[in-house]
Amino acid sequence: EGTENRITIARQRYIESIKNFNNLVTVFPTNLTNSIFFHYEKMPQWDVENAKQIQEAPKVNF
């Protein structure tokens, strides 16, 4: 059970990090700094149709 929960939490944190990064790249004033110095591109967001089902860790019985 612990491994599935860790994977679910890591996936959630990754998706949240990508959203935060994309906001920084596109929102004023950091978008000006980015366009002058860094030239970072928005990262593709990992999105699926059944996000609710994926957020729940699978139940494993031994």
- 10-48, pLDDT tens digit by residue? 988 998 999 999 998 888 988 888 888 888 888 887 766
Q: Which amino acid is at 19?
A: K
Q: pTM for this structure?
A: 0.62
| Phi (first) and psi of residue 42, to 5 degrees | -65, 140
Query: Is the distance from CB of 57 to CB of 9 less than 8 angstroms?
Result: no
Note the pLDDT of residue 18: 92
Longest CA pairwise span in the chain (Å): 56
Cα 29 to chain centroid distance, Å, stands at 22
Q: How many CB atoms are located within 10 Å of the residue 36 CB? A: 8
Task: For residue 7, give the nearest of 44, 55, 53, 42 by alpha carbon.
Answer: 55
